[in-house]
């Protein structure tokens, strides 16, 4: 099992993740949504609030999508964000 270190710099991962969420290709941004879910599980509350706010804003923009796969993954990810207390 992987254990995240709290003093590690995750900014390159965050930057790639932001680009994935802004990508117009549905398959790419669904994988970005899944990545946020996994990061919330691994890092829990150690994600900075400003970065988490940016992720939540990008995720909220995806509710414009009408595809069921996108909406289901958004619900799973928001549940993970709340469950792991990534947002204060």
Rg of the Cα atoms in the chain: 12
- Give Cα 41 to chain centroid, integer Å: 10
Q: What is the pLDDT of residue 73?
A: 95
The full set of domain ranges for the chain reads 27-83
Q: What is the pLDDT of residue 80?
A: 93
pLDDT in tens, 16-55: 999 999 999 999 999 999 999 999 999 888 888 899 999 9
User: Rounded mean pLDDT of 49-75?
Assistant: 92
Query: Would the pLDDT of 2 be above 80?
Result: no
User: Rounded mean pLDDT of 1-15?
Assistant: 75
Read off the pTM. 0.85
Here the contacts of 51-59 (C-beta below 8 Å, separation 24 or greater) are 51/14, 52/81, 52/86, 52/87, 53/87, 54/18, 55/17, 55/18, 55/21, 56/81, 56/87, 58/18, 58/21, 58/22, 59/21, 59/33
Distance of alpha carbon 83 from alpha carbon 86, whole angstroms: 8
């Amino acid at each position: 099992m992987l254990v995240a270190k709290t003093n590690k710099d995750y900014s390159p991962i965050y930057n790639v993740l932001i680009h994935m969420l802004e990508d117009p290709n549905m398959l790419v941004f669904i994988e970005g949504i899944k990545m946020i879910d996994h990061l919330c599980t691994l890092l829990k509350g150690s994600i900075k609030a400003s970065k988490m706010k940016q992720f939540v804003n990008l995720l909220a923009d995806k509710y414009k999508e009408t595809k069921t796969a996108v909406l289901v993954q958004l619900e799973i990810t928001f549940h993970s964000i709340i469950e792991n207390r990534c947002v204060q």
